[in-house]
Structure formats: C-alpha cells, structure tokens
C-alpha cells in the first residue's frame, strides 16, 4: 500500500501536572491512508481527543509533552516541526472540526469573515476571490443562500454551524480532516445529514478522515477501518466488518454488547463493569484487566502487546497471545461464549 | 445588530436620558440648597445690612419657595443658561468651557495611557499565565492600584521634573509661550495652527499629570483584561482559530481580545467618568486649570451656581459616556439585541 497520509507510531503524550504525570496517550500506533475514513473509538478520557489534538499540534505545552514516538504527516515528522511549519500545515493540508458547533465559531465575527480568514491565512488572494471560494464551498456543504457570509454564528442552528465548520475545514482541500465527535452535539436527523455530507466530501475530494467518536453507530455507517482505544492505548484495530462480526478484544466486545438492541427485551442494558482507571495510577499489566471478565493470572502481571490475531486484525490481549505462545489457555471457548 | 435597529435603539436611549438628567438637576439643586450658608452673604460680604441681604435675595429669587426656585433654575437650564458665577459675574456656560477642555484633554491623555498599557499588560500576563511575565505584570498592577494619586503626582514632580528635569512640573503650557485657544484643547489647537513647538511643549506638560491620573485605571484595566482574556482563551473558538493556522498574534489580538474587551470596556467607561470628576487632586498638584479645580474653588468661595452647574455638567458627561459604552457593546457584539426589552 502507498505511504499513509498520517502515520502515528508509538506516540506517547504525557501531561505533567502538580499531582503527577498523566499518561494520556501511551504508545499509540495509527495510520490513515489516502481517501480512507478511520474511526478512533473509545470512552471519554481514553486519549482519543488528545491524540487528534497532538496531530494538529494543539496540545498546550506545558503541561502536555510528546515524550516519545512520531507523528508522520505526508512523510514529515510533526513532533519535530517548528511552530511556523505547524501553522502552515494546520488549516491548510490538515484541518479539524470539533464536537461543539455551538461554540466553535467566534461569535463576534461574521461567517464570511471567519471563512475568508481561513482562506487568506494560507492563500494569497483578494478578499473577493476568497469570498467566492467561501460561497462555493458553502454551497457544497448545503448552504446556498447568498446572505450567509454576512450572518453571525448566533443566527444559525447547530447543524448549520457544523456545516460552516466543515466548509471552513474543507475549503482549502486538505489531505486529512480530523473530526472530533462532529455529530455528538447534534440531533439524530442532523447527525445523519452531517455524516452523509462528510462521506460525500470524502468521496469527492479523496480527503482522508480521522473520525473520533464514541458512537459505534457512526462507525458502522462511516468507517473503513476502526481503531479502538482504552486508557491511552490502542487495544484493537481492524476493518469495520470484522470489528462488528468478530471483535477480539474483550473491551471491544463489551462496547458492542452495550448497544441496546430492539429484539432483546432486557430490563437492564449491558454495561462493562467497573470504571476507567485513574490516569495517575494505571493498573499493572493489562489496563483493562480489572474490568475484564476473561482476566487470568498473566493479565495482572504483564502488559500485553498490540499484535496481529489474523491478517489486518490487531489486538492487545493475552487471550490471543497466550494461544500463540501455547501456554495452555483456551481463549476461543471464552470468546464464543461471550458472543 | 441591524443598522435601523441600532439607530432606533440609539434614539430611544437618548430620549431615556431626559428623565435621568431631570433627576440629576433635582439632586444637584437639593444638595446645594442643603449646604449651610447664605449665598446672599457671600455676595454682599460680611458687613452687609439685613436690607441689603433681603434685596439680593429678592433679585436672585432666593426668597421664593424652593420648588419655584427649582423651576426657575430648570427653565434657565433649558435655555442653556447655567447661571452666573457669583464671584466673576460671568455666565457659567461661557466660563466653564476652557476648564472643561483642560480636564477633557487630561482625561483623554490619561485614558490613552491607561488603556494602552493596561490592555497590553493584561494580554501579556494572560498569554504567559503563571510565568515570570504574568507575576511581574500583576505586581505592577498591584502597585499601580495601591498608589494614591496625590502621592504619585508629588513623586513624579520630585523625580522627573525636579531631579531629572525632563518634564515641566506644572501648568498646561509654558507661560512665556504666546498661545491663543480656539478649541481650548491645546493639543488640537497647536495642531490646527501647525505650531509644533507649542505642540511639543503642550505634550511635555501633559505627560506627568496624565501618567499620575492614568495609573490606577491602568492597573484596574490590566487586571480586568487578564481575567477576561484567560476566560476567552479557554473557548472552543480560540482552538478553532489556532486550528486554522492563524499566528499567535491574530489569535490573541483579533479573536481573543475582541471577545475579552466587553468587560474591559465597562471598566474604561466607569473609570473615564471617575477621572473627569475625580481629577481634582491631580489638577491641584499640577496646577492644571481643569473643571475639578473650578468646582473646588467654587466650594471654597461658596459660589453656589458654579457648584450646582459644574456638578450637573460633570454628571451629564458621565451619563453620556455610559450611553456611548452601551452603544459600543451593541456595535461589538452582534448577539446583543436591544430591540426587545
């Protein structure tokens, strides 16, 4: 396969706080290829947003610091890029949209002002040319009224604001769009529209998308490949079909089981027992072990590695690694029961 | 806000000034009349006979009931007659102009200093929060806000005027300089006449009192700017601005500052009002012929009409400044809807 647009390897980003070192991202590997939509899934606080902000270079340092690993964007290591180089890439070759469309646009500047600014930061063109570009892009995201440029964010609904954000991110035709929970704050019907729009833009421009979400429904609809994160680490990575049909990691299995299903008339919904570990005191061994129903003695002692279970399917779990190393545990049985 | 809405709002706010101004005239009238002492005695002097005093009272209408006196006074005000100074016998509306101009010039200069240094100090400490820069800037602000203006003025005079001799110690302009006021704003006058020697002299006279007067507002503005900037810098739209690839300068001075400036503007408006009225100490120390001194002298000489009208004029300016600040809010923030109240 060709070189990925974005390739994160062994990224460790820690926050140095008064209470101690928070390992928000601890050895993450992730790749996004040209034209691909990759889902980054996990609970709140698992490090998925921090990973994406690290790619954009938007983690305030201090307290945050990349302590190890690389973030290669089109072959260039962003962890070594100067602030000036990062500014040239941000909003130009790589753009980002955020969870909260209601607060992501500056309330005191018109839509036109904010879009024109995004364009003219990176392209030398006249205001009028930039305005035309902005209008054209706004049409592509489904806002075709001509007065839009003079309107202010408070005059638009959440869905419309997210469209404006997408237009602002896509107007310079970036190679990579990072979307951090882009539909979480929106109504379900609007969610579907925004997702369709992103998919359409992905197909039209071939923009790679890194889609951060906790919503597996969104993943099912959008993504080619999925990366599941837990407590600062990638625990499973595979394509969408395999993730839903044959999840390997107990955490992913738990996530899938937590989706309510109509045909099952259960009184209580399933939830993974226990809580996300405190980032200041990660458990020894596998980080998921304290909550895992399949945990056995190794899990509490040593940390499993992210290794292939089969071709194109990685999992960070002793269940599979034990089997490969032939230590006498029978994981298939357990997994079959869980499904 | 839409332009017509803005215009309607402005007109409505100006109309709303009328009851406020009437209220103020009642209060100033009442206060002056509550002050013990007899204006007739002030005019006629210590040795006047009771007949003479009575005559003066009648001529001034002081023998009539207070409410009649008030309506006379209000009628005069509406005709633009602020009364006549008991001492100089010159109409106050003519006399007060140069004093007002002197105060306005001093106030404007000190506000310029206060806003420029205050806002930038605030930005610096917010931008580098909890750093050495932040602590130094806030220490300067703390010292500034704790320094009594009369003490600061005297220290400035002693150090910069007397010891170093960099600036003149008092007055508005060198007494030997031929200078005829047109607007009574000396900076504007000297510019209008293209007299740059006078301009530099006027500016040199302006710096020390303006710095003394501007220090406290500067400190207050710096603190306000810092806290307001810190709040705005945490917003999502600031992250968006950075995500666009904007330079730090634009992120701070365009996206953050405009959002942070509304509370700062409120402080600026209030301080401006306080400076106009509260410049008495500074004006006294620097022999600045301003309206504060004018009223202060009037109080010493029981010059009732001057006290009354002087206070009324200052109060009116204060109200108008606050109106302008309110209008600026709407101009800055398109979300503010004054149409529906």
**Residues A92 and A168: beta-carbon distance below 8 Å:** no
Q: Is A122 on the interface with B (CB under 8 A)?
A: yes
**Could you say which residues from 244 to 273 on chain A have a Cβ atom under 8 Å away from some Cβ of chain B?**
none
Examine the domain organization and report whether B35 and B157 are in the same domain: no
* A170 → chain B, closest CA residue: B244
Q: Across the interface, do B243 and A91 touch by the CB < 8 Å criterion?
A: yes
Phi, psi of B330 (to 5 degrees): -65, -35
Could you tell me which residue, B12 or A268, shows the higher pLDDT? B12
**Could you say which residues from 239 to 298 on chain B have a Cβ atom under 8 Å away from some Cβ of chain A?**
239-247, 255, 258-259
Examine the domain organization and report whether B169 and B218 are in the same domain: yes
Question: What ranges do the domains of chain A cover?
Answer: 97-173, 249-338
Examine the domain organization and report whether B245 and B128 are in the same domain: yes
Tell me which long-range contacts B151-155 makes (C-beta under 8 A, separation of at least 24): B152/B212, B152/B215, B153/B208, B153/B209, B153/B212, B153/B281, B153/B282, B153/B285, B153/B286, B154/B285
Least confident of A108-122, B27-41, B141-155: B27-41
CATH number of B250's domain = 1.10.3720.10
Nearest to B229 by CA among B266, B267, B268, B255: B255
A-chain CB neighbours of B333 within 8 Å are 107-108
The residue from B79, B100, B133 where one domain ends is B79
Average pLDDT over all residues of chain B: 84
CA distance B218 to chain A (A): 26
Q: Is A192 on the interface with B (CB under 8 A)?
A: no
Tell me if B85 is assigned to some domain: no
Q: Across the interface, do B240 and A105 touch by the CB < 8 Å criterion?
A: yes
Examine the domain organization and report whether B106 and B242 are in the same domain: yes
Distance CA A221, CA A196 (A): 9
**Residues A314 and A236: beta-carbon distance below 8 Å:** yes
Tell me if B207 is assigned to some domain: yes
Nearest to B326 by CA among B276, B274, B279, B265: B265
Q: Across the interface, do A104 and B259 touch by the CB < 8 Å criterion?
A: no
Question: Does position B112 have pLDDT exceeding 50, yes or no?
Answer: yes
The residue from B20, B48, B79 where one domain ends is B79
Partner residue opposite A121 with nearest CB, options B235, B244, B258: B244
Q: For residue A37, give the 3-state DSSP assignment.
A: strand
Examine the domain organization and report whether B151 and B64 are in the same domain: no
Examine the domain organization and report whether B100 and B69 are in the same domain: no
Q: β-strand A37-41 against A313-315: which pairing, if any?
A: unpaired
CA distance B246 to chain A (A): 7
B-chain CB neighbours of A123 within 8 Å are none
Distance CA A261, CA A253 (A): 15
Q: CB within 8 A of B190, min separation 6: which ones?
A: B179, B196, B198, B199, B202
**Could you say which residues from 211 to 240 on chain B have a Cβ atom under 8 Å away from some Cβ of chain A?**
235-237, 239-240
Partner residue opposite A58 with nearest CB, options B243, B255, B333: B243
Tell me the pLDDT of chain A (339 aa) as tens digits: 567 888 888 888 888 888 888 888 888 888 899 889 999 998 887 888 888 888 888 888 778 888 888 888 888 888 888 888 888 999 889 999 988 888 899 999 999 999 999 999 888 899 999 999 899 888 888 888 888 898 999 998 888 888 898 889 888 888 999 998 888 877 888 888 888 888 888 888 889 999 998 888 888 888 989 999 988 888 888 888 888 888 888 888 888 888 877 777 667 777 887 777 877 777 788 888 888 888 788 787 878 888 888 888 888 888 877 555 544 444 444 444 443
Tell me if B100 is assigned to some domain: yes
Residue with tokens 């458990």: A283
Q: Tell me how crowded residue A123 is: count the other CB atoms within 10 A of its CB.
A: 13
Q: Which of B131, B239, B240 to mutate to test the interface with A (most CBs of A within 10 A)?
A: B240
Examine the domain organization and report whether B98 and B73 are in the same domain: no
Nearest to B156 by CA among B102, B100, B204, B220: B204
Tell me if B340 is assigned to some domain: no
Examine the domain organization and report whether B16 and B121 are in the same domain: no
Examine the domain organization and report whether B146 and B265 are in the same domain: yes
The residue from B56, B79, B102 where one domain ends is B79
Examine the domain organization and report whether B166 and B136 are in the same domain: yes
Structural domain range at position B252: 92-332
CA distance A248 to chain B (A): 36
Examine the domain organization and report whether B179 and B61 are in the same domain: no
Examine the domain organization and report whether B209 and B124 are in the same domain: yes
How many domains are contained in chain B?
A: 2
CA–CA distances in Å: residue A144 to residues A134, A135, B203, B222: 11, 8, 55, 44
A75, with CB counted inside 10 A (0-12, 13-18, 19+), is: exposed
Question: Does position B119 have pLDDT exceeding 80, yes or no?
Answer: yes
């Amino acid at each position: 396969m060709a070189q990925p647009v974005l390739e994160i390897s062994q990224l460790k980003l820690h926050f140095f706080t008064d209470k101690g070192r928070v390992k928000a991202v601890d050895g993450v590997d992730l790749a996004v290829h040209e034209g691909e939509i990759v889902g980054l899934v996990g609970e709140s606080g698992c490090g998925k947003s921090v990973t994406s902000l690290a790619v954009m270079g938007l983690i305030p340092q201090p307290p945050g610091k990349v302590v190890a690993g690389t973030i290669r964007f089109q072959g260039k290591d962003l962890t070594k890029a100067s602030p000036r180089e990062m500014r040239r890439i941000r909003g130009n070759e790589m753009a980002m949209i955020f969870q909260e469309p209601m607060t992501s646009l500056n309330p005191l500047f018109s839509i036109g002002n904010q879009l024109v600014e995004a364009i003219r930061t990176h392209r030398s063109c006249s205001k009028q040319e930039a305005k035309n570009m902005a209008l054209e892009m706004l049409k592509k995201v489904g806002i075709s009224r001509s007065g839009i440029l003079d309107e202010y964010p408070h005059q638009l609904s959440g869905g419309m604001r997210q469209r404006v954000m997408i237009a602002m991110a896509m107007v310079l035709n970036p190679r990579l769009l990072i979307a951090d929970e882009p539909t979480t704050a929106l109504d379900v019907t609007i969610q579907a529209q925004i997702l369709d729009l992103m998919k359409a833009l992905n197909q039209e421009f071939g923009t790679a998308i890194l889609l951060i979400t906790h919503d597996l429904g969104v993943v099912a609809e959008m993504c080619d490949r999925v990366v599941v994160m837990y407590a600062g680490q990638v625990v499973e990575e595979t394509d969408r079909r395999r993730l839903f049909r044959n999840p390997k990691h107990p955490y992913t299995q738990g996530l899938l089981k937590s989706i309510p299903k109509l045909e099952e008339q259960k009184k209580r919904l399933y939830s993974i027992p226990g809580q996300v570990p405190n980032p200041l005191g990660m458990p020894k061994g596998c980080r998921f072990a304290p909550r895992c129903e399949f945990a056995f003695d190794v899990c509490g002692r040593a940390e499993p590695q992210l290794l292939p279970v089969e071709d194109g399917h990685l999992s960070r779990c002793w269940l599979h690694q034990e089997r490969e190393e032939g230590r006498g545990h029978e994981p298939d049985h357990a997994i079959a029961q869980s499904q | 806000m839409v332009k017509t809405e803005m215009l309607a709002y402005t007109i409505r706010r100006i109309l709303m000034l009328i009851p406020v101004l009437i209220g103020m005239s009642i209060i100033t009238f009442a206060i002056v009349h509550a002050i013990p002492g007899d204006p007739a005695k002030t005019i006629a002097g210590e040795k006047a006979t009771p007949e003479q005093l009575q005559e003066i009272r009648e001529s001034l209408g002081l023998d009539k009931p207070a409410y009649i006196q008030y309506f006379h006074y209000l009628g005069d005000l509406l005709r633009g007659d602020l009364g006549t100074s008991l001492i100089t016998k010159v109409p106050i509306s003519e006399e007060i102009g140069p004093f007002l101009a002197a105060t306005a010039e001093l106030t404007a200069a000190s506000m310029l200093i206060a806003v420029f240094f205050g806002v930038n100090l605030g930005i610096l400490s917010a931008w580098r929060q909890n750093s050495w820069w932040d602590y130094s800037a806030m220490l300067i602000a703390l010292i500034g806000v704790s320094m009594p203006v009369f003490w600061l003025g005297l220290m400035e005079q002693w150090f910069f005027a007397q010891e170093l001799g960099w600036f003149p110690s008092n007055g508005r302009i060198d007494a030997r300089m031929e200078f005829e006021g047109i607007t009574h704003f000396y900076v504007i006058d000297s510019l209008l006449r293209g007299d740059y020697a006078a301009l530099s002299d006027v500016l040199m006279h302006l710096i020390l009192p303006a710095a003394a007067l501007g220090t406290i507002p500067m400190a207050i503005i710096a603190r306000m700017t810092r806290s307001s900037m810190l709040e705005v810098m945490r917003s999502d739209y600031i992250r968006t601005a950075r995500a666009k690839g904007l330079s730090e300068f634009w992120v701070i001075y365009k996206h953050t500052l405009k959002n942070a400036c509304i509370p700062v503007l409120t402080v600026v408006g209030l301080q401006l009002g306080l400076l106009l009225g509260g410049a008495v100490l500074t004006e006294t120390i620097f022999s600045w012929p301003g309206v504060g001194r004018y009223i202060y002298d009037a109080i010493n000489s029981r010059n009732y009409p001057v006290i009354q009208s002087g206070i009324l004029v200052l109060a009116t300016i204060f109200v108008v400044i606050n109106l302008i600040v309110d209008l600026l809010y709407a101009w800055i923030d398109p979300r503010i809807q004054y149409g529906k109240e």
